[in-house]
Structure 1
Amino acid sequence: MDTNNNRLFIGNVPFGATEEEIKAHFEKTLGEGSVLEVRIIRYKDTGKSRGFAFITVKDADTAKLAIEKLHEQPLETGDVSRNLIVAEAKPSQPRQDR
């Protein structure tokens, strides 16, 4: 990671996962208070999860540790377990008209 980015992309999130479950999963490894925000991306029309999220952690070192320790590690929610994709979030790009 070559920037001071403390925002992470989390992919392959189980559709039933909550913000609280994701936060607890990351703080179990990174330490309590290390996750500042979790935002699951949802479909506007249904409110259902799109299967990915963004999290903000306290600093770039914590973000790097999250990538090293949690990328491709399972998140278990209920009876579903999926290996997460954890990567540095890319800056958002303006949407082009379709």
Structure 2
Amino acid sequence: PYHRSRFGDTTLTKVFVGGLAWETPSAGLHDHFREYGEILEAVVITDRETGRSKGYGFVTFRDPESAQQAVQNPNPMIAGRRANCNIASMGPPRPSPQRGRAPRGPDQQHSGPEPYMGGRMHHQQQQMPTPPHAMFYNPSPYGYWYPPDYQYQQV
């Protein structure tokens, strides 16, 4: 998708910027990032119907080195607000694995015996369908709830 840009292949030159203040204009985005190199385009994405900012945008640099410099600080302050940025084609940076724990491969999902789930068929772990009323009803914080179609008894 990024290579179809009017600027050619933007795989390594387009920076995603999220967490923008609603008032941040495209020019403000350009002003913040121009210190990193030549900018081909800086645009804040807006809602088509209302014209209001969606709180994110993109900055396209002429060269990949400028884009890399721009994302060295993944949480810059833009217009007084902490934003987040990364190379758009690569998505957000992944957190490093926790120390002392080896990453699990697809065939190493369980490191010990399976927990007992009750009954003789616990090892099959069939997925139960979600009842229709549970899809739209937020349970009570007190640990009990009634479905929306529950009929209360008249006293």
TM-score where L is the length of structure 1 = 0.74
Corresponding residue SS for 1:56: strand
Structure 1 or 2, whichever has the larger Rg, is: 2
Tell me whether 1:45 sits opposite 2:49 in the alignment: yes
- Post-superposition shift, 1:58? 1.2
Task: Tell me which of the two structures has the higher relative contact order, counting C-alpha pairs closer than 8 angstroms and 6 or more residues apart.
Answer: 1
Tell me whether 1:61 sits opposite 2:61 in the alignment: no
Question: Percent of aligned positions with the same letter in both sequences?
Answer: 25
Higher strand share: 1
| Aligned residue type for 1:44 | R
Structure 1 equivalent of residue 20 of structure 2: 13
TM-score where L is the length of structure 2 = 0.48
Structure 2, gaps ≥5 residues long: 1-9, 91-155
- Post-superposition shift, 1:90? 2.4
Corresponding residue SS for 2:71: helix
Q: Deviations over 1:14-34 (max 9, x none)?
A: 11011111111111x314xx1
Structure 2 equivalent of residue 96 of structure 1: none
The CA RMSD over aligned residues, in Å, is: 1.9
Structure 1, gaps ≥5 residues long: 92-98
Corresponding residue SS for 2:32: helix
Q: Deviations over 1:61-82 (max 9, x none)?
A: 111100004x212112xxxx21
- Post-superposition shift, 1:5? 1.1
